[in-house]
Structure 1
Amino acid sequence: MEVKKKLLDIVRDTVRFKHYSLSTERTYIHWIKHYIFFHNKKHPKEMGKEEIEEYLTSLAIKNKVASSTQNQAFSALLFLYKEVLGVDMSEWNIQALRAQERKRIPVVLTKDEVKLVIENLKGIYNLITMLMYGCGLRMNEVINLRVKDIDLGFDKVYVWDSKSLKDRVIPLPLKLKQRIAVQLEAVSELHAKDIKDGFGAVYLPYALEKKYKNAQFETKWQYLFPAANISTDPRTKIKRRHHILANTLGRNIKVAAQKANLNKRVTSHIFRHSYATHLLQAGIDLRSIQELLGHKSVETTMIYTHVISEMNKAKLISPLDF
């Protein structure tokens, strides 16, 4: 007798079939479950436009969530109805009250402040942060780099399937070339040890491990910044070496900022903001920076012109000082 799968299990299967990340899977599950409980455990098949609008409006009015959080919940519901339940939502025209979008100017570090934070980072976290700043990488992009993504011959870093699904090529900072070469050698030695110990497999995206069965054991597919220990994959239960955890990197950056006595809120993303701002200050044109950052639209990149504008305002003086 065939056991009927629960809705959330079908959602998980669909997310994995679409090759979405584990974090996306957990986020979608959270919001779909929250949506169902909001409507007293009513099955989504029995709900539609009105229930979605009521739920999203409640998030904005009662829960007072940020615009990005409400959009995240909406994306989860779109996925549920379109990809899992096969419902055509094109004519629904969802009209929920949207959370107010706050357009904030990103906080950036000066070059001296960047240097201070990096000086307070040790070992591999020092190198990762320097690469993040030197290439304008997002945290997930830097920790997901593989050996094959580094081209020392042409001094390039390749980023595949980034946030906007745009592949891009970024100049490798020459100051890091020797350290990256040493890191590549260390990864190769660690991988050889893993193979000897009966491990050596690595996670491959888009079911490549089925298409190329031996690729998961090849050095070129290993993470550039591997974790210190072998761990169990939460999805497949396979024991293998993953990359350094985002939380661990973030925690090290926070501690380094505290040691540097900076009063700014320093996160991993501040190095990407600083990278773009410092390039603008150096006279690099906006279109080039857009390509380096992998933004779909130049409007997204233009936020950094506002940062420069605010910096220039600091040169103005008060009438009291005339």
Structure 2
Amino acid sequence: MGEVRRKALRPEVVSATLPALKAPRLLDQLRERIRFLHYSRSTEDAYVFWVRAFIRHHGLRHPRDLDGAAVESFLTWLASERQVAPATHRQALSALLFLYGKVLGVQLPWMAEIGRPRPQRRLPVVMSRDEVVNVLSSLDVEWRLFGQLLYGTGMRITEGLRLRVKDVDFSHGAIIVREGKGSKDRVVMLPESLVPGLREQMLKSHAAWLQDQQDGRGGVEMPDALDRKYPRAGSTWAWFWVFPQDHHSTDPRSGVVRRHHMYDQTFQRAFKRAAKAAGVTKPVSPHTLRHSFATHLLQSGYDIRTVQELLGHSDVATTMIYTHVLKLGGGAVKSPIDSMRFD
């Protein structure tokens, strides 16, 4: 029986396009491969988390000694015992398929046959205009401009945090979003009402940049290999963060101590406090500002294609979900009871 099992696990295809891994430990190999393929840091963290959970679930056995049934049992445990959402289920599956296909270098029949959870289309949570005003007004002063920018442009929180000085074009009233979801660039509007606040924020950022220069600690994280191609670019004002952190921190990948942009967790906590202070009972998060931006644009009469372009959606079907949200408002079918009068 053991002989049959070893034969079934023999790799059918080993990728010849990927370089040999140098790290000795499995999780370090996983990180090495993810970085080689330029996956985001959040994807790296998620994949490492699920692979570690998979290994622990099976008593610290090496994944090379496990088969498709072991993967199925882990995913079944997630769905039945942990009751994770379908999106979380798919993320765990993607992590394991990446591990076997890209790190261990095997392509086995069960990888194509393994069941995938059916996606569920749910309506996004959207705040009314008054709720947006109340929440943003309740934000701490240090975070208010950033929250206004997310709602005013429809940017994702990571896109706003990674915004650099060179990508804010005051003369054309535009903001260039670099490497958004799917590594795509796009252009969004620069709200006129936020120009004074952004100029003031630029002055604060410039002061932090100057201090770093004087302390000999200039330089911010650069995308891909630009820091090797243009070694001095990371220390220039153009590449500095619009919303920098107030202190230096250690880069978890390179170990370099430098100034990072503001942390997303800090803003998320501030946003939760603001929503509670504003009396909003909906399950809102910073991403709700993006949903509200899209819905309010459609309510104002802008066409679906324009909204799709501003949000950076590849498929207009993704943007169409907001038209269903509109049906919950004034455009909904009225109940027949509303035309009746009772004594």
TM-score in same-fold range (> 0.5) = yes
Alpha carbons 2:33, 2:102 under 8 Å: kept: yes
Instruction: Please say which structure displays the higher CA radius of gyration.
Output: 2
SS at match of 1:284: coil
Residue 40 of structure 1 corresponds to: 59
Counterpart among 18, 26, 32 of residue 7 in structure 1: 26
- Counterpart CA distance in 2 for 1:320 and 1:119 is 35
Residue identity over aligned pairs, in percent, reads 41
Contact persistence 1:109–1:270 (CA under 8 A)? yes
* Cα 1:4/1:191, change in 2 over 3 Å: closer
Question: Pairwise mapping of residues 1-322 of structure 1 onto structure 2 (< 5 A)?
Answer: 5-88=24-107, 92-96=111-115, 98-99=116-117, 101-312=119-330, 316-317=334-335, 319=337, 322=340
Please, which runs of 5 or more residues in structure 1 have no aligned partner?
none
1:312 aligns to what SS in structure 2?
A: coil
Summarize the Cα distance change of 1:46–1:156 in structure 2 as closer, same or farther, 3 Å threshold: same
Counterpart contact for 1:164–1:295, Cα < 8 Å: no
Distance in structure 1 (CA, Å) of the matches to 2:338 and 2:286: 39
Gap change, CA 1:320 and 1:111, over 3 Å in 2:
closer
1:184 and 1:224 in contact (8 A); partners too: yes
Count of aligned pairs = 319
Paired letter, 2:256: I
Question: Displacement, 1:37?
Answer: 2.4
| CA distance in 2: counterparts of 1:14 and 1:142, whole angstroms | 27
TM-score scaled by structure 1?
0.92
The code of the aligned residue for 1:163 comes to K
Determine if contact 2:295/2:326 at 8 Å carries over to the other structure: yes
Structure 2 alignment gaps of length 5 or more: 1-21
For the residue of structure 2 that corresponds to 1:182, the secondary structure is helix
**3-state DSSP of counterpart to 1:93:** helix
Q: How much does 1:53 deviate?
A: 2.7
Quick one: distance in 2 between partners of 1:138 and 1:4?
Answer: 34
Secondary structure of the structure 2 residue equivalent to 1:170: strand
CA deviation map 1:242-278 (0-9, x unaligned): 0111011111111111221222222101100000000
Give the match's secondary structure for 1:227. strand
Closer/same/farther in 2, CA of residues 243 and 255 from structure 1, 3 Å limit: same
8 Å CA contact retained: 1:159, 1:168: yes
- What SS does structure 1 have at the residue aligned with 2:187? strand
Distance 2:315 2:87 in 1: 18
What's the Cα RMSD here? 2.0
TM-score w.r.t. the length of structure 2 is 0.87
Secondary structure of 1:241's counterpart equals strand
- Take 1:182 and 1:46, find their aligned partners in 2: how far apart are those partners? 58
